[in-house]
A and B are shown apart, each in its own frame.
Chain A
Amino acid sequence: MKLSDNAEEILEALWIAVEESKLSALDPEGTGIALDDPAYRELTERALIEIRGGMVYFRPEGRDEGRMTIRRHRLAERLMMDVLNIRGEDGDYKACQFEHLLNEGVDVKICTMLNHPTTCPHGNPIPPGECCHQARADGDLGVVPLTEFKSGQEGEIAYIQTDDNKKMQKLMAMGVLPGNRIILTQAYPSYIFKVGYSEFAIDSNLAREIFVRK
Chain B
Amino acid sequence: MATCCSDGSENLKSVTGAKKLALVGNPNVGKSVLFNVLTGSYVTVSNYPGTSVEVSRGNAVIHGQAWQVIDTPGMYSIHTITEEERVAREILLHETPDIVLHVLDARNLERMLAMTLQLIEANLPVILIVNIMDEADRMGLTIDLKLLEQRLGIPVIGAATARKRGLDEIRAAISSYDSQPNGSRCFPYNRLLEHDISEVTGLMAGEYLLSHRSLAVLLLQQDEEITELVRHREGEGYAVLAEKVREKAFERRESFHLDLSLQRNSAVKKIIDGVFVPPEKRVITLSERLSNWSVRPLTGIPMLLVVLYFGLYKFVGEFGAGTVVDLLEKQLFVERINPWMVTVVKGLIPWEIIQELFVGEYGIITLGIRYAVGIILPIVATFFIFFSFLEDTGYFPRLALLVDRLFKHFGLTGRAVIPMVLGFGCDTMATMVTRTLETVRERIIATLLLALAIPCSAQLGVIIALLAKAPGALAVWSVFLLLIFILVGFLAARIMPGEAPMFYMELPPMRLPQLSNVLTKTYTRMQWYFLEILPLFVIASVLLWLGKITGFFATAVSAMTPVMASIGLPKEAAVAFIFGFFRRDYGAAGLYDLQTQGLLDARQLTVAAVTLTLFIPCVAQFLVMKKERGWKVAGAIGLFVSLLAFGSGYVLNQFLLLTGLL
Contact = CB atoms under 8 A, between A and B. Distances in A.
A174 B257 CA distance: 14
B507 A177 contact: no
Given A169-B77, A178-B258, A206-B504, A188 B108 contact: no
Interface in A150-189: 160, 165-175, 177-180, 185-186, 188-189
B404 A189 contact: yes
Contact of A190 (B77, B141, B292, B401): B401
Interface string A14-46: 000000000000000000000000000000000
A85 interface: no
Q: Determine the main DSSP class of A at the interface with B.
A: mixed
Contacts of B295: 186, 190, 192, 201
Contacts of B258: 160, 168, 172, 177-178
A198 interface: yes
B400 interface: yes
Nearest to B114: A173
Contacts of A186: 292, 295-296
Contact of A205 (B81, B403, B502, B506): B502
B257 A165 contact: yes
Interface in B499-518: 500, 502-507, 509
Interface residues of A, number: 33
B506 A206 contact: no
Contacts of A203: 404-405, 408, 413-414, 502-504
B262 A201 contact: no
B504 A170 contact: yes
Contacts of B355: none
B503 A190 contact: yes
B561 to A, nearest CB: 49
B261 interface: yes
Contacts of B400: 201
Interface size class, chain B = 35 or more
A125 interface: no
Contact of B265 (A160, A167, A169, A177): A177
Nearest to B292: A185
A196 interface: yes
A178 B262 contact: yes
Contacts of A189: 297, 401-405
Contacts, number: 108
A177 B261 contact: yes
A201 B505 contact: yes
A170 B81 contact: yes
B292 A201 contact: no
A93 interface: no
B199 interface: no
Interface centre among A160, A170, A190, A205, by most chain B C-beta atoms within 10 angstroms, is A190
Contact of A174 (B110, B297, B414, B504): B504
Contacts of A165: 257
A169 B262 contact: no
B397 interface: yes
Contact of A200 (B261, B402, B414, B506): B506
A160 B262 CA distance: 12
A192 B265 CA distance: 22
Given A177-B261, A177-B262, A199 B405 contact: no
A178 B296 CA distance: 28
A199 B506 contact: yes
B486 to A, nearest CB: 18
A192 B503 CA distance: 11
Given A167-B502, A189-B401, A197 B108 contact: yes
A153 to B, nearest CB: 16
B408 to A, nearest CB: 7
Nearest to B269: A179
A186 B111 CA distance: 22
A146 B507 CA distance: 18
Contacts of B398: 201
Nearest to A166: B81
Given A172-B257, A189-B297, A201-B397, A206 B503 contact: yes
B490 interface: no
A167 B295 CA distance: 24
A169 to B, nearest CB: 5
A33 to B, nearest CB: 43
Nearest to B504: A202
A200 B81 contact: no
Interface centre among B291, B413, B502, by most chain A C-beta atoms within 10 angstroms, is B502
A182 to B, nearest CB: 13
Contact of A169 (B81, B141, B408, B509): B81
B31 interface: no
B557 interface: no
A15 B405 CA distance: 47
B502 A169 contact: no
A199 B107 CA distance: 11
Interface in A96-130: none
Interface in B375-407: 397-398, 400-405
A3 B127 CA distance: 70
Given A169-B257, A177-B262, A190-B414, A200 B502 contact: no
A179 B258 CA distance: 12
A195 interface: yes
B220 to A, nearest CB: 13
B111 A175 contact: yes
Contacts of B303: none
A181 B424 CA distance: 40
Contacts of A185: 292
B76 interface: yes
B185 interface: no
B334 to A, nearest CB: 48
A165 B249 CA distance: 13
A163 B414 CA distance: 23
Nearest to A209: B502
Contacts of A174: 76, 111, 504, 506
Contacts of B397: 201
B79 interface: yes
A73 B584 CA distance: 70
A168 to B, nearest CB: 6
B91 interface: no
B534 interface: no
A88 B302 CA distance: 50
B87 interface: no
Interface centre among B111, B401, B402, B504, by most chain A C-beta atoms within 10 angstroms, is B504
Given A185-B292, A190-B414, A196 B108 contact: yes
A165 B506 CA distance: 20
B507 A199 contact: yes
Interface in B540-596: none
B503 A201 contact: yes
8 contacts: A160-B258, A175-B108, A186-B292, A190-B295, A196-B110, A199-B291, A201-B295, A203-B504
Interface of A: 160, 165-175, 177-180, 185-186, 188-190, 192, 195-203, 205-206
Interface of B: 76-77, 79, 81, 107-108, 110-111, 139, 141, 257-258, 261-262, 265, 291-292, 295-297, 397-398, 400-405, 408, 413-414, 500, 502-507, 509
Given A192-B401, A200-B504, A203-B413, 5 more contacts: A160-B258, A170-B81, A174-B76, A199-B507, A201-B414
Query: Top 4 A-B pairs ranked by shortest CB distance?
Result: A173-B76, A201-B401, A197-B107, A190-B401
